[in-house]
Amino acid sequence: MKLGSRLCPRLISAFLISISLWNAPATPVVAQEQEELRIATSYKLMTLDPQYANLNENTSLLSHIYERLVYQDEKLELKPGLATSWRPLSDTQWEFKLRENVRFHDGSAFDADDVVYTIERIRDVLKPPSGGFRSYVSGIKSVSAPDPLTVLIETNGAVPNLPLFFSSIFVMHRPSEGFQTTEELNAGSPPLGTGPYRFESWSSGESLRLARNDDYWGGKPAWSKVTFRVIENPAARVAALSTGEVDVADAIPARDVASLKERGAKIASVGAARINFVQFDVGRDTLPGVTDKSGEPIANPFKNLLVRRALALATDRGILVDKILAGYGTAAAQVFPNGLPGTSAKLQPQAPNYDEAKALLAKAGLPDGFNLVLAGPAGRYPGDAESLQAIAQSWARIGVNAQPAAAPFSVFNTKRAAGDYGVWYGGTSGEAVDIILHTLLASPNPERGTGALNFGKYQNADFDGMLAKAESIEVGPERNAALAQATELVMADQAIIPLYHFHHIVGYGPLIGSYVMHPRGWTTAMQTLPAME
Amino acid sequence: MGMISTALGRLSQAFLLLIAMSLIGFIGIHSVGNPVFNVVNIETATPEDIRAATIALGLDQPIWRQYLVFIGNVVSGNFGTSYIYHQPAFELVMSKLPATLELASIAMLIAAPLGTGLGLLAGRRSGTLFDRIVLKASVSALSIPSFWLAMMLILGGAVLTGWFPSGGRGSTASFLGQEWSFLTASGLWHLVLPALALAIPNIALIARLSRSGTIEVESLDFTRFCRAKGLPSRRILFRHTLPNISVPIVTIIGLQFGGMLAFAVVVESIFSWPGVGKLLIDSIQLLDRPVVMATLTFIAVAFVVLNALVDLFYAVLDPRVRLSS
């Protein structure tokens, strides 16, 4: 007994010392680790099936393993990927020429049949709840492979955006027979792609380990090993970066940027190809929560353009961008940051003008203002719940009493779908301007597939016509100009109040020379260049 | 006979508990929101996608039918497939169990001896400086919110000094078909801070409990007789006082251990420790009902088993329990 009690502390300290000796070299010796890249990401990889769910959470990490026919560069322009060129043969026919000498990670050659397999798997095999990718291929009538390096696609009607759609679809390898199921892929039948990194191991929602694909067609990838650690808590991501446990951390909160810089980390950021906005319900005659000052329900005021204009004029984007997003946001006047294809240079964010806004309200017959409930998700987008407060304060200056109501994202969606909200804060993203216009602002029409996110039932026949016309034009400057015009029209009608484009912020440590930001917001090892010795 | 009826009573109690828990959990998660919005990408999905996914998940059925289907599946050993991860829900929970189990065990291995020891000594010397320090420290340790404690441990142990990693499990080794951190040096190193964060409030709790027990027992006649007989005070403390105060301590250790298995959410989130608690809170946020139900069921069973173990332990510790049955 006595001996034991005396030995114990010594044993423990010996034990601790031995651990510390084991671990001591891990931090200071950098040269040995040079080859391994460690990334802390907020995107949790939930499945290894690249076609299961169209969520950044999955696609960001899987883009190391799988590749797409077409890539989008930092300006969102299309660039060759597994396809070297593509051209429309007619309105409804496309030809894609594939890259030669591309091999899957098991050594087998990549050819046109794999593209056929990929499209068939998404279109015909995967069953709900998976199916986020189906909308990209639903316009495809048939696909064939006349020779190993050519894919012929026939569409139902014109689909000028087909190459763009292929920038979201990961190409899988056709197995010897049948189609791979999601269960098989998750259970560890190793994911087989052509990408710059090979799959080593994963743990859903925890980590993903990758190794360099030495036979990569695009040249030797920079890192011999890449480890992703899923860290959803932003403070924990920041801590991991500042202690040097990881080399890159994504989705850094703007408020932590200064302290990270003090600790020597570098920061990269870019305006996201997405928009956060206020959307109105203009479909119904009365709205929940919208009352006059005495609490009596009033007719839906948002049907009146003057009221929408007044609220837009009374929205102070400066506070949102400078204070809430700490400068890591861009005030918005349209659906994408100015300068990206399809945006209009004429649309610039307006400074608030409360007098004019008040005058507009009076003209609309609401000189005393009214009450409303401003709903929004909490914790989904940077600055979401705080923005509700700030907007409510601005609107109070013209007599509109807004009661902010923030809810978790899923609750918010459930309630919005149930019609519990009259006006709300929302956000959306897309591969291109026309996709956002198509889903967010075009009149809801299930047959044409428009207006899926137009929860407010906004309808504008002129805009629908202009958008449809623009969408029929081949991708290029002419199409972009037509899209910009349509945007000008719909923004003049104040269908939404554009608020801001938040910035993707990435922090990185001394191992990294530079990090190339992409507006789509994925976090990948390919964007990470090692520091030069 | 007595044993069997006790066991049967226990079992039926556990069964009722499970039914009640599953009902509350099921209705609770159902009324929070519709999980389909987390399954499809709401920013790109068409109404048709949403409708198809709703039907595929069986969410178009009335709630009572969904519940009956769920119960039916559970009886045949199937908790369903996670909406989010698309893996069998129960397997998912079990795959997170080793991480939680080792964290909770190590935290309790630190907390139980340390807390009991401190409490015994403080109670023995009640009123002294040492006692006052233990008392004050335990009050503060109990009143510190666990997220703050965890943050301070990261600040002090990782960010400022760099002694320990700020989060994650480190490397793991395979044992019994599962991955364990405590078998590797790096894993143990990663365990230190989260285990401390879990252990500190428990040290305080156990110390307070054993201190008050000690003070009570030390004033009883039998301790005075021991002293009068000339037994050394250490022997009195460990052979006579300790067994007499151990019943409430074992109870609290059992309860707290169960709590750590299930609800170490804050610590697991901050240290990005991929355990059951973190899975539960993530799943609640994503409304991943199969995983939530599987986790809750596991937790309920774990509590029932722990309580049964604690009861068995009473019999080992306390001869009166043994003799009465």
Alpha-carbon gap: A218 to the closest alpha carbon of chain B (Å) = 31
Q: Is B117 in contact with B238 (CB distance < 8 Å)?
A: no
How many Å is the maximal CA-CA distance in chain B?
85
Contacts of B186 in chain A (CB under 8 A): 22-23, 26
Q: CA A196 to CA A198: how far, in whole Å?
A: 7
The whole-number pLDDT of residue A180 equals: 86
**Among the listed residues A48, A353, B301, A432, the one whose alpha carbon sits nearest the alpha carbon of residue B293:** B301
Choice between A67 and B64, residue whose per-residue pLDDT is larger: A67
Amino acid in the structure at residue A189:
S
Q: How far is CA B2 from the centre of its chain?
A: 31
Alpha-carbon gap: A100 to the closest alpha carbon of chain B (Å) = 33
Contacts of A231 in chain B (CB under 8 A): 167-168, 272
Digit-coded pLDDT (tens) for A256-285: 999 899 888 999 999 888 899 999 999 999
Q: CA B222 to CA A463: how far, in whole Å?
A: 92
Alpha-carbon gap: A245 to the closest alpha carbon of chain B (Å) = 7
Could you report how far apart the first and last alpha carbons of chain A are, in Å?
A: 58
Distances, alpha carbon A307 to alpha carbons A280, A393, A493, in Å:
11, 17, 11
Digit-coded pLDDT (tens) for A210-255: 999 999 998 889 899 999 998 888 888 998 898 888 999 999 998 8
Contacts of A183 in chain B (CB under 8 A): 86
Q: CA B244 to CA A459: how far, in whole Å?
A: 78
CB-based contact B55 A452, cutoff 8 Å: no
- Across the range A366-375, mean pLDDT stands at 93
Contacts of A49 in chain B (CB under 8 A): 86
Q: Is B201 in contact with B142 (CB distance < 8 Å)?
A: yes
The whole-number pLDDT of residue B172 equals: 76
Q: Judged by CB atoms within 8 Å, which residues 203-242 of B form the interface with A?
A: none
Q: Is B83 in contact with B290 (CB distance < 8 Å)?
A: yes
Residue labelled with tokens 């986790």: B295
pLDDT of A29 above 80: no
pLDDT of A363 above 90: yes
Q: CA A92 to CA A114: how far, in whole Å?
A: 22
- Both tokens of B35, joined, read 């999980």
Q: How many Cβ atoms from other residues are within 10 Å of residue A378's Cβ?
A: 17
pLDDT one digit per residue (tens) for chain B, 325 residues: 566 777 788 888 888 888 888 888 888 888 887 888 777 776 666 777 778 888 888 888 888 888 888 888 888 888 888 888 888 888 888 888 888 889 999 999 999 999 999 998 898 888 889 889 999 999 998 898 888 888 888 888 888 888 888 888 877 777 777 778 888 888 888 889 999 999 999 999 999 999 999 888 888 888 888 888 888 888 888 888 888 888 889 889 988 998 888 778 888 888 888 888 888 888 888 888 889 989 988 888 888 888 888 888 887 777 777 666 5
The least confident of A13-17, A170-174, A237-241, B83-87 is A13-17
Alpha-carbon gap: B81 to the closest alpha carbon of chain A (Å) = 10
The least confident of A11-15, A151-155, A170-174, B300-304 is A11-15
Contacts of B92 in chain A (CB under 8 A): 204
The whole-number pLDDT of residue A7 equals: 35
Please state the pTM of the whole predicted model: 0.80
**Among the listed residues A118, A107, A99, the one whose alpha carbon sits nearest the alpha carbon of residue A49:** A118
What sign for the dihedral angle of Cα A84, A87, A89, A93? positive
Q: CA B240 to CA B218: how far, in whole Å?
A: 9
Q: Does B158 touch chain A (CB under 8 A)?
A: yes
Residue A35: which pLDDT band, with cuts at 50, 70 and 90?
confident
Q: Nearest chain A Cα to B49, which residue?
A: A131
Which residue among A55, A205, A439 places its CB closest to the CB of B85? A205
Contacts of B36 in chain A (CB under 8 A): 129
Digit-coded pLDDT (tens) for A292-333: 988 899 999 999 999 999 999 999 999 999 999 999 999 999
The whole-number pLDDT of residue B116 equals: 92
What sign for the dihedral angle of Cα B247, B250, B256, B259? negative
Q: Is A420 in contact with A288 (CB distance < 8 Å)?
A: yes
Q: Where are the alpha helices (DSSP H) in A24-128?
A: 56-62, 112-120
Judge residue A486's burial from the number of C-beta atoms within 10 Å of its C-beta, 0-12 exposed, 13-18 middle, 19 or more buried.
buried
Percent residues over pLDDT 90 in chain A: 58
Q: Is A381 in contact with A276 (CB distance < 8 Å)?
A: yes
Q: CA A487 to CA A484: how far, in whole Å?
A: 5
- Residue pairs between chains A and B whose CB atoms are closer than 8 Å: 153
Q: CA A447 to CA A464: how far, in whole Å?
A: 14
Amino acid in the structure at residue A194:
T
